[in-house]
Amino acid sequence: MDDIEAFWQRAQQHARLVGMPSVLGVNPLATLRPPAWSFGATAEHADGLLQLVLDGTKTATATALWEFEAEGEALPSVGTLSIITDGAGVPRALLGVTRVRTVPFDEVDEAHARAEGERDRTLASWREIHEQFFTDYASHGRGFAPDMPVVLEEFEVLYSEPVER
């Protein structure tokens, strides 16, 4: 069993995703392991953003819609689960999506910027950080545009394991 599968087994138990099948039936959330991924584009991004999640500071994220399209991935929806890894690929948290919306970059609001938890948690700093990120890593050749569609997710931590320092 690999590290992610072992984490998933522990997370299902702690997050109470697995019930007593003979009484309650099989919980569909427990049948398939969710995707494992990390925040950001570098190991440093992944570690820093993961720590914000584990501290409870980061409860939202933003992804260019173009990224989902380029990867052929379905958009997340309420209830979507994800295993979040650190920069070394070690699973650390199980997240559940609580809200999803797609808006133009220039219509992201202050509340979402605060929920992302980065730097000073203002809309101005969110825009600066994300314009740079989308320009450098996530435009898939399209470049940055102020009206580019951005998928905004809010999430809750269902289970986590501490980062060893």
Domain coordinates in residue numbering, the chain: 3-17+34-160
Residue 108 has pLDDT above 50, yes or no: yes
What tens digit of pLDDT does each residue of 53-88 get? 999 999 999 999 998 998 899 999 999 999 999 999
Q: Which two tokens stand for residue 149?
A: 């569609």
30-34, 35-39, 42-46, 70-74: which has the minimum mean pLDDT?
A: 30-34
CB pairs under 8 A, 24+ apart, for 77-82?
79/29, 80/34, 81/29, 81/34, 81/158, 82/34, 82/35, 82/36, 82/37, 82/155
As a CATH number, domain 3-17+34-160 is 3.10.400.10
Residue 23 has pLDDT above 70, yes or no: no
